[in-house]
Structure 1
Amino acid sequence: MTVQPTKTHIFQTSFGKIIALKENGIIRAKSIRYAHSERFKRPVPEKPSASEIIFPHKTPVCPQVISPLVEKMIGPTHIEDFDADESTQFLSVFSPENFTDNENLPVVVWIHGGSHEIGCGDLPTSDPSDWVKEQHIIVVTVSYRLGLFGFLGGDEERPANLGLFDIIEALKWIKNYIPDFGGDPENITLLGQSSGGDAIAHLMISEGVEGLFKRVIIQSAPLGLRHSRQKMSTEFLKKTEFLKDEKDVLKMAEEYRKHVPAVIKYGLKAAMPFGTQYGFPPLCQENEAVEKWKSNAEKYDVLIGLNDNETAFYLKTSDALNKYFGKGFGLIILDKAVRKTTEFIYGKPAEEFAKNYAKAGGNVYLFRIHSESEHNHIGAAHCIDLPLVFGNEEAWKSAELLKDIPWAYIHENGKKLRALWAEFARTGKISDTSERPEILRIRKI
């Protein structure tokens, strides 16, 4: 592949003069600040700028501790490329180089996953350039507060759901300014994976989102862990009270891990100690959530689903478990554990969500990604959808997740899946005649 030289491109917007990068058929306006915040305060929208808006040298990221599992399964994080910032309200806009001012391209907004405590909007493994070029769409990637800063709260000093409020501010920015990038403000689709999908599902029933998006694609959302979390969150909040005024943000990210609620006490939900919290703005009470989703069923088109072997990402990669369950009868037990936990956390909740939504009159599709590669030792595990949606062979070349799977196989299936997801983003429908990748099962509910 011939790499074109990088050039700059200027977007003259009502938000300001934004300097972007033009490379390989893509224009990328990187790390635009859409809001700012003080610690444990709601975000304040960023005002339009009279001076040029220039992309920073390093990518802003919410303070966090790097996950050894993610490093192993997805790839190393080059920390020298990132800059920790607890006011992490930034977004990047990816658009095709060749478009006309009156095209009004469909817009997909990427809400990253990471258990509400790690990650950011701009990672090489979720660079949407391939998708933008192939399908002639605009993709906006969003960063927001995580962990102690965005998804743990419960009192006046430390409010809950600040990460959700950040995303809402990002959506308001996109609604206002995306026409200046060639995007259609009336055709915005939210796409989220894992905790990003959880956030999107809850944005559907949040206050203050009216008219901000039209469709949602929810991948691998751990909706089975959403129930009865308040007691755990209250305990976690109390145990981390001593960190609330800590000036060293990286120390905060390191220290809270010593006080994470025990899985033995709270069950599987403690594996994701941060999260959206019912009963605090912008969310309703937990017992009202299902009816809220039903009452909003005609507002949003929904594409929701999972991978067949989600929890293999955690269980089949554990050295301790493989020592005792890695072969023979032990492997049969481990496979059963993967099936049971995948269905409990992801599968049954997604199906229940889809059926309730359809009964209430909503337009909803349910999908599952499965493994067809004889070489893939863990199957269609958590995050296997990411290289399919985003491509980027270079970013995924060291991923243990794709060990022994030829990239040509990922690309062939991914290109077809990207076309389907773009079709849904354009129209809210997936035609029966549209080509399916062999690893995908999808049906309208």
Structure 2
Amino acid sequence: MKSHQKGTHVFETRLGKIMALKENGVIRARSIRYARSERFQRPVPVESLSDLLFPDKTPVCPQILSPLVEKMIGATPVEKFEPDESTQYLSLTLPDLISESKPLPVVVWIHGGSHEIGCGDLPTADPNEWVKEQRIIVVTVSYRLGLFGFLGGNEKRPANLGLFDIIEALKWIKGNIADFGGDAENITLFGQSSGGDAIAHLMISEGVEGLFQRVIIQSAPLGLRHKRQRMSIEFLKKTEVLKDETDVYKMMDEYGEYVPSVIRYGLKAAMPFGTQYGFPPLCTEEESLGKWQENAKKYDVLIGLNNNETAFYLKTSEALNKYFGKGFGLKILDKAVEKTTDLIYGTPARQFAENLAKGGGNVYLFRIHSTLKDNHIGAPHCIDLPLIFGNESAWQSSEMLRNIPWESIHENGQKLRAIWAEFARTGRISDHSEKPEILTIRKIE
């Protein structure tokens, strides 16, 4: 029988004692610092811990809330978060009553947010339901974002610091997860949107050998990864005036003035922060495809997207709906969603999967659809989050789910969580496994 009473649990680890909360059938150890950093410096791993108590607030990289995310996903409980430039924290969620005889598979959640917003511990990505249903361990990782983690490009402001943070988190997990009942030889990285982009690039990063065995890449905007160098250089130069600012709130208020123009750099300027080729730990862009193919056999890969990704942006625009919300205009808008979804997500995911398969990799490609009538938005960006993580209360104010019964989300989500957990355990998805009606999936040969 699983315990559902509140209580505490103390883990004895090589780093020291780590206190966790036991509640509702899971054990959760929150906001464990895995590294520290100075501004624009690489992270330094934490070697020991004093006894860790629950922090009053969740540490989060300084950022500006997105009005679109607040509308479509839900309001962020800002009173529960504390800005911290050195945002190297992780949290663990595992089933109550851990079996000591068989280590559990580990899923590491790398959150999305255009490399600019978010953190590892949001209510909309609470893994409780997944952990209880599938008896896996989920580790959620926070890392530096925006100006602090995904710009850079010179000696004083290095590029890819957010990637280096995640690598330090993976080293911490590899070295310590056994103390929490996890299998250090069965670690799956799971990321959505820019989190998926980060994971794809971790597959070709230096210093990750043996840190993970599988990846699940959901809705990664790989179509925006190409030829970003000029844009990044311009953005870096313009934000030089902010690099020594001590007031992070002022930095956040002002950096938007320097964001590159979408007109000049095309769609990629919609995500001005990102991973940068040619700087550690990455190879050059020209070498990247060959590097992915070379590493294809090292990782089992599950990659895919939602059928109407860009409806999240286009069909929620009041300006666009005013002119294209019905009749022939709606047909134009639907075609725009189809084309931009394919350009940014669909074709790049297929090409990525096919490139890995050519290298001998074990690769699955999936797509999530909407089967509901009268759902004008379809299956947009982020629709996978409530499916995988559940947590109905966190999604009550979501405009994206306004006309979708939670029963449909729960029924399809439970099956999807089982499929994703099967992949995390074995690297395979059986033809006989029960799949949700919203999912199409195939192995790439």
Q: TM-score range by the shorter chain?
A: over 0.9
Tell me the CA shift for residue 16 of structure 1: 1.1
SS at match of 2:296: coil
2:331 is equivalent to residue 364 of structure 1: no
| Alignment correspondent of 1:129 | 128
2:435 is equivalent to residue 436 of structure 1: yes
2:329 is equivalent to residue 330 of structure 1: yes
Tell me the CA shift for residue 376 of structure 1: 2.1
Instruction: Tell me the distance in 2 between the aligned counterparts of 1:82 and 1:6.
Output: 23
| Alignment correspondent of 2:391 | 392
| Alignment correspondent of 2:181 | 182
| Alignment correspondent of 2:67 | 68
2:392 is equivalent to residue 421 of structure 1: no
Tell me the CA shift for residue 55 of structure 1: 2.2
Judge conservation of contact 1:190–1:213 (CA < 8 Å) in 2: yes
Instruction: Tell me the distance in 2 between the aligned counterparts of 1:145 and 1:54.
Output: 23
Mapping of residues 17-416 of structure 1, within 5 Å: 17-49=17-49, 51-416=50-415
SS at match of 1:323: helix
SS at match of 1:380: coil
Judge conservation of contact 1:376–1:402 (CA < 8 Å) in 2: no
Judge conservation of contact 1:375–1:405 (CA < 8 Å) in 2: no
SS at match of 2:400: helix
Instruction: Tell me the distance in 1 between the aligned counterparts of 2:375 and 2:79.
Output: 32
Instruction: Tell me the distance in 2 between the aligned counterparts of 1:276 and 1:30.
Output: 27
State the TM-score, normalizing by the size of structure 1.
0.99
Instruction: Tell me the distance in 2 between the aligned counterparts of 1:184 and 1:91.
Output: 17
Instruction: Tell me the distance in 1 between the aligned counterparts of 2:388 and 2:248.
Output: 33
Amino acid at match of 2:322: K
Instruction: Tell me the distance in 1 between the aligned counterparts of 2:209 and 2:11.
Output: 27
SS at match of 1:189: strand
Instruction: Tell me the distance in 2 between the aligned counterparts of 1:404 and 1:155.
Output: 48
Judge conservation of contact 1:189–1:217 (CA < 8 Å) in 2: yes
Query: Deviation string for 1:107-129 (max 9, x for gaps)?
Result: 00000000000000000000000
Instruction: Tell me the distance in 2 between the aligned counterparts of 1:211 and 1:420.
Output: 24
Amino acid at match of 1:332: K
Instruction: Tell me the distance in 2 between the aligned counterparts of 1:190 and 1:219.
Output: 11
Tell me the CA shift for residue 8 of structure 1: 1.1
Distance 1:375 1:4, change over 3 A: farther
State the TM-score, normalizing by the size of structure 2.
0.99
Instruction: Tell me the distance in 2 between the aligned counterparts of 1:165 and 1:376.
Output: 41
Instruction: Tell me the distance in 1 between the aligned counterparts of 2:310 and 2:112.
Output: 15
Tell me the CA shift for residue 377 of structure 1: 2.2
Instruction: Tell me the distance in 2 between the aligned counterparts of 1:238 and 1:276.
Output: 17
Amino acid at match of 2:405: P
Tell me the CA shift for residue 102 of structure 1: 2.6
Tell me the CA shift for residue 345 of structure 1: 0.2
Query: Deviation string for 1:335-387 (max 9, x for gaps)?
Result: 00000000000000000011111111000000000010114220000000000
| Alignment correspondent of 1:11 | 11
Instruction: Tell me the distance in 2 between the aligned counterparts of 1:18 and 1:8.
Output: 10
Query: Deviation string for 1:286-314 (max 9, x for gaps)?
Result: 00000000000100000000000000000
Tell me the CA shift for residue 254 of structure 1: 1.7
Instruction: Tell me the distance in 1 between the aligned counterparts of 2:153 and 2:101.
Output: 46
Instruction: Tell me the distance in 1 between the aligned counterparts of 2:6 and 2:84.
Output: 27
Question: Unaligned 5+ residue runs, structure 2?
Answer: none
Judge conservation of contact 1:95–1:137 (CA < 8 Å) in 2: yes
Deviating more after overlay: 175-184 vs 397-406: 397-406
Instruction: Tell me the distance in 1 between the aligned counterparts of 2:196 and 2:217.
Output: 5
Q: Matched residues, percent identical?
A: 76
Deviating more after overlay: 351-360 vs 135-144: 351-360
Amino acid at match of 1:340: K
Number of aligned residues: 443
Amino acid at match of 2:383: I
Instruction: Tell me the distance in 2 between the aligned counterparts of 1:331 and 1:438.
Output: 26
Instruction: Tell me the distance in 2 between the aligned counterparts of 1:70 and 1:268.
Output: 19
SS at match of 1:399: coil
Tell me the CA shift for residue 398 of structure 1: 1.1
Instruction: Tell me the distance in 2 between the aligned counterparts of 1:256 and 1:6.
Output: 43
CA RMSD of aligned residues (A): 1.0
Instruction: Tell me the distance in 1 between the aligned counterparts of 2:297 and 2:252.
Output: 40
Instruction: Tell me the distance in 2 between the aligned counterparts of 1:20 and 1:99.
Output: 13
Instruction: Tell me the distance in 1 between the aligned counterparts of 2:281 and 2:119.
Output: 22
Instruction: Tell me the distance in 2 between the aligned counterparts of 1:55 and 1:348.
Output: 44
SS at match of 2:251: helix
Instruction: Tell me the distance in 2 between the aligned counterparts of 1:299 and 1:419.
Output: 24
Judge conservation of contact 1:109–1:190 (CA < 8 Å) in 2: yes
Instruction: Tell me the distance in 1 between the aligned counterparts of 2:376 and 2:96.
Output: 39
Tell me the CA shift for residue 5 of structure 1: 4.4
Instruction: Tell me the distance in 2 between the aligned counterparts of 1:211 and 1:354.
Output: 21
Amino acid at match of 1:29: A
Amino acid at match of 1:44: V
